[in-house]
Chain A
Amino acid sequence: MALQQSQQQKPSAAEAKTANTSIPNAARNPSNDEPNKKRNATRREVLPAGIVGTEGMNTVEREIPADEPPALKVNSSLAVIGRSTPRLDGRLKVTGKARYTADVRLPGMLFAQVVTSRYPHARIRSIDTSLAERAPGVRAVYVLDRVLGNAELRDKSKELPAKFPIVRFAGQPIAAVAATTQAEADDAARLFKVEYEPLPFVVDEDEARKKDAPLVFPGAADQGGTAGGGGGPQGVTQEGNVRGPVKSGPRGRPAGDINRGFAEAEVTVEGEFRTQVQTHSALETHGVVADWKEDGLTVYASTQGTSSVRDEFAAIFKLKKSQVRVVTEFMGGGFGAKFGAGNVGVIAAQLSKKAGAPVRLMLTRKDEHLSVGNRPSSIQKLRVGAKRDGTLTAIHLFSYGTAGTGTGAGAGGPAQNMYKCPNILTEEADVFTHAGPAAAFRAPGHPQGCFALEQTIDELAEKLGIDPVALRDRIDESPARREERRLGAERIGWSRRRRAGSDTGPVKRGLGVAQSIWYRFVNMDSACEVRVTQDGSVEILSGVQDIGGGIRTVLAQVVAEELGLKASDITVRIGDTAYPAGPASGGSVTTGSITPAARNAAFKVKQQFLEEVASALGTMPEYLKLGGGQVAVFDRNPNWSDGDRQGRSYKAAPIKSLSFRQAASRLKTEQIAARASRSDDYEKSRATYGGVQFAEVAVDTETGVIKVERVVAVHDCGRPMNPLTVESQINGGVLQGISYALYEDRILDRNTGLMVNPNLEQYKIVGSRETPRIEAILIEEYTGRSSTDAGGIGEPATIPTAAAVANAVYNATGVRVREMPMTPARVLAALQSARGKGGVRS
C-alpha cells in the first residue's frame, strides 16, 4: 500500500509520514485527555460544505471529537480568518532584521567549506588533508565516510569495497574544513589533495538507457529513507541503469484494460513529450549552523521541517531526539529540497564536534545546483482514446526520466487522477545517470505530467471539434474545477479564442487552458500551545516553520478569531523543536495540518479563560462572549438571543463589558495554557485540490520568442485563511511554471559530466521583465474535514502553468512544442518542421 501510494501520488516526505502516523489523537497523547472524559468521545456537528456562490453550497453532518470547537462559519461571517491580513513578520523582512540561517552568528562560530568531486564517476584512492590542516585559521577537517541522498545498492557485495564513498556525480561532497573565517575555509578547501581513479560515466538519460552504457550502480539500487523528500518505490526491478517501469493507475493500481479501451475508442491521440531537469535554486542555499555541545546538539537550519531535520540528526548521531534542537526563524526558500539534515548538516555537526565550536556551513550557489536536489526530467509517451462525444475510453502513459543518482522520476499523477476514464495504465521508469540526486520539487511529477496530459487533451478536443473547456466539462468530475473553468473562461475572455494559428503577421497570439490536480495530505504531527497571560497577552507556540507561505500570520488569525482579538495582538513563536511538534512543510500540508491544532488549542484555553473570568465576576462562562477585544457579560446565554432555541423572543444585550486585558487580570494564575494536537480528518475519504489556469501568449515566429502576456489562475484551497498570502503563492506558482516552461534548464556536458550553467545568470530564471499580468481568483470550498477546514495551495498553483502556456503557443501558431524549455530554438525548429509539412500559415 505504501508503495502504491507513493507511486500514485508522488508526495513529498510529509505524505510518507502522514501515512504512518494516522493514529487517533487520544492514543498518541493520552496525557492530554482529561481523565474523567471518555476516550474518543465524539459528537455530531453540522459544518458548511460546498463551494460558496454555487448551487452546491450546503452543510454536512460529521462525527467529530467531543472536545473540538463548534463548526466555524463560512469566511464572510468571520472577523479575522479569511480576511486579507498583512504578514506579521513583514516589518522584520522589509527592514532586514529577519534572521535567516545564513545570518546566524554565534560566539566563536567557525566557517566551513566543502571539497567536492571534479569527476562524475570515480573511486577515490587517497585524500591528503595535511596541507589543509596546517592552513591559517583551520580548526577542523572532516572526510565523509557516507554520502546521503544517492540511492544505495541493495546488495553491497556487487561493488568492490572502497575506502571512501564512490563518487557518482560531479559535485558530490568528499571532505570539508572549518576555519575562523569563510575566506580561510575557502582557501583551505583548495589544499586537500584528492587522488581519483576516474571511471566511465553517463549523464544523458537517452544514452544511459542503452545496453552498453556505463553503470551508475553495478546492481539494483534504492534511494534510502532519508528525510530528503525524494525517492520512489523500493525494491523495483532494475536492468542496467533502468529501474522499472512501475505499473500503476488511479489509486495506485492500473484500472480496467487499456487494450479494450483503445479498441472501443473512436478517436485516438498520442504524442511524445520531453521535460528538462530543473533545479530548486532557493535564494538561501542549503545550510546550517551546528553547535555541538556535551549535552546536545543545536542546529540552526534553513529547512522546511524542523522536526524532520531533528529526527535525521538524532538517527545519524545516535542522540535522543530530545538532545537535538532545530531552529528555523526565517528561511529563504525550499520548494521541496530542504527536509533533512543532509550531507550539509552532517558535515557541519561533525566539524563542530571536532572543533568544539559552532560551525556555519552555507553551500555555494554552484553546490546548490549540483548536489542538493532537482526536478527529474521526463520523456513521456502518452496515448489517449475517446468516443466521438469526448468520453475517455483509455489513457496509457509510458514515461522515463532521470533523477540522477536518486529515484522518483515518475510523472504519472495527472494521467492517473485528473479525468474519469475506465481504463488507465501508467508505466514509469527511472534512469540512473551520473548526476546529482533529485529531491521533491513543488508537486513532484505533476508539472511534467500535466505538460503531456493537458496538451494531449487539447489535441483531443481539436480532433473532436469540441472546445477544450467544454470537453473538460464532460470528462472532469471535479465540481471545483468546473466552477474554476467557468470563472476563468469568463475572466480571460475565452470566447475570443480563435482557431489555431489565426494571426497572419509574424507575431501570433493565442489562448490556452490547463488544469491542476493535487491531493489533500494531512500531517498528524501537528501540535500547538496557546498561552494567555494576566496582562492580556496571547502567544501561540509550535515547531512549524514559515517557509514563505505565511503560516506565522495564519496561526495568529486562527487564535485571534477564537479569542475575539486582532491578528496583530497575537505573538507567534514557531520554527523551533523546543515547541510542540509541527509538520514539515511539504505536499502543501502546512495550513491544512496545523491550523486545526491551533484552533483546538485556542478553544481549550478560551474555555479555561471564560471559566476563571466568570468565576471571578460571579457569573457563568456561558454568559460571557468574546469579540472585538472585549469580554461582554450577559445576564443569560447570549446564544439564545435568536429566540429559536428555547422559544424566547428577546434579544440579549450585555449588562457590562470589559476589555480582554481587564478580564485576563482576573485569571487565578499568571498564565493559563492549552496544548492541542491534530485529530484525524473528520472525513477520511480521499480529497483532491483543483485549479485551472488560462494563459495568453504572443509568439514571435521570426525570433521564436514566446512572451506570456497574461495568466488567469483560478484555484481552490479549502477555506482560504489569508487571501493576501494565498494570492502570493498563486503568483509564485504561476511564475515558477512560466520559468520552467520557457527558461530553466540544468545543462550537463556529455564529455565531462560537468554542469555548464551552475549559477544564476546562465541558469535562467524568470525575472521582472518576463512577468505577465497575473490574475489570481480563489474559490471558497468547504468540505467539513477539520476544525478550520483549511487546505493547501503551494503545489496546485504551479502544476498546470507550463501546459497552459504550451496550449496557448499551439493556439497562437498552430504548432505544438512538445519539449521544454520552449526556447526560441525549439519554437523555430517546431515551426520549421511544420512548414516542411505545410502546416503553418505565415
Chain B
Amino acid sequence: MSKHDEKEKQDAGAFGHVTRRGFLKGAGLTAAGAAIMENGLLGAKDAAAAEAEPVVVGPGRVPVTLRVNGTVQKVQVEPRTTLAEALRFELGLTGTKVVCDRGSCSACTVWLDSTPVCSCMTLAVDVGARKITTIEGLAQSEELHPVQEAFIEYDAMQCGFCTPGMIMSCAALLNHKANPTLDDVKQATSGNLCRCGTYPKVFEATLAAAKATRKGGE
C-alpha cells in the first residue's frame, strides 16, 4: 500500500458521512425501499448539492462508480446493495468473504482509503470517491504483500475462509504501526473470527512480516 497524503487521511477520517443508521433512518421516512442520498453516490463534486437537497434514489438499480484496486469500475446496483455484494457479485472479486453479514466477524474486511471496514456493513452507494482495496489488490502484481508471504510461511490459515479478512486487518495494522507488539496484533484481529482456531499463527506471521518489512526498509 503506497503512502497516502494528508488529504486522503482526512477523507478516511471523515468516513461515515452516511452511516448505515443514517441511511435507514432516512429510508424509513420515505417510500419503502427508497434511499436518501446525502453524500457519496455521485462523487464529491455533487456532495454539496446533495447536502442542500437530499436526492432520492432507488429502489431500482442506480449507477455507482467504484475505485477498486487502482481501477475505476461502473456498476448498477440497488441502493440496498452492500459493498461486499457489489464486489463479489458485480465485480467478481470473491476474495472478500461474507460470513455473518452483520459486522461481527470481519471476514469481509476491505480498506476504504487506508481504513479497514466491514464491506457487509457498507452500502456500495456510500463509498463515494474513496479508494477500495480488496485482498485481490493487496499484492503488487506478482509480488505478495509481506503479510501474505508470512501467512504462507507460518501457515496462518486452515480452511482459509477468514484469511482474506484477517490479512486485510493485519496489513492495515502494519501500515500505521511498523513495530507492533503481540497485543497490537491481537487488538487488530479482535474482530476477525477464525473458526479453525488459527490465531497463534496469525500472530506469529504478522509479527514476522513486520520484522521483515522493517529490515527491508532499512
Residues of A at the B interface (CB closer than 8 Å) are: 86-87, 89-91, 93-100, 102-103, 105, 181-183, 281-284, 330-333, 335, 364-365, 547-550, 724-725, 727-729, 731-736, 739, 759-761, 765-769, 771, 773-774
Contact = CB atoms under 8 A, between A and B. Distances in A.
B161 A283 contact: yes
A90 B197 contact: no
Interface in B89-124: 89, 92-102, 104-105, 107
A282 B99 CA distance: 9
B155 A728 contact: yes
B155 A725 contact: yes
B136 A95 contact: yes
A182 B85 contact: yes
Contacts of A86: 152-153, 155
Interface centre among B88, B135, B163, B196, by most chain A C-beta atoms within 10 angstroms, is B196
A768 B196 contact: no
B16 interface: no
B39 interface: no
B161 A333 contact: yes
B144 interface: yes
A281 B155 CA distance: 22
A365 B139 CA distance: 30
B97 A102 contact: yes
Nearest to A549: B158
B157 interface: yes
A333 B159 contact: yes
B195 interface: yes
Contacts of A724: 155
Contact of A103 (B94, B148, B203): B94
Contacts of B191: 767
B81 interface: yes
Given A728-B201, A732-B198, A284 B159 contact: yes
Nearest to A773: B200
Interface of B: 78, 80-81, 85, 88-89, 92-102, 104-105, 107, 134-136, 138-139, 144, 148, 151-153, 155, 157-164, 167, 185-187, 189-203
Given A182-B85, A183-B78, A768-B186, A100 B161 contact: yes
Contacts of A332: 97, 159-161
In the A-B complex, the 3 residue pairs with the closest CB atoms:
A96-B95, A735-B197, A332-B161
A733 B89 CA distance: 34
A105 B91 CA distance: 11
A733 B200 CA distance: 12
A729 B159 CA distance: 11
B138 to A, nearest CB: 8
Contact of A767 (B93, B99, B190): B190
8 contacts: A87-B157, A94-B163, A96-B134, A102-B94, A282-B195, A761-B104, A768-B187, A771-B203
B82 to A, nearest CB: 10
A834 to B, nearest CB: 32
B158 A735 contact: no
B155 A96 contact: no
Nearest to A729: B158
A761 B101 CA distance: 11
Contacts of B88: 103
A365 B136 contact: no
Given A95-B135, A732-B198, A365 B152 contact: no
B198 A731 contact: yes
B97 A97 contact: no
Contacts of B155: 86-87, 90, 550, 724-725, 727-728
Interface centre among B85, B139, B160, by most chain A C-beta atoms within 10 angstroms, is B160
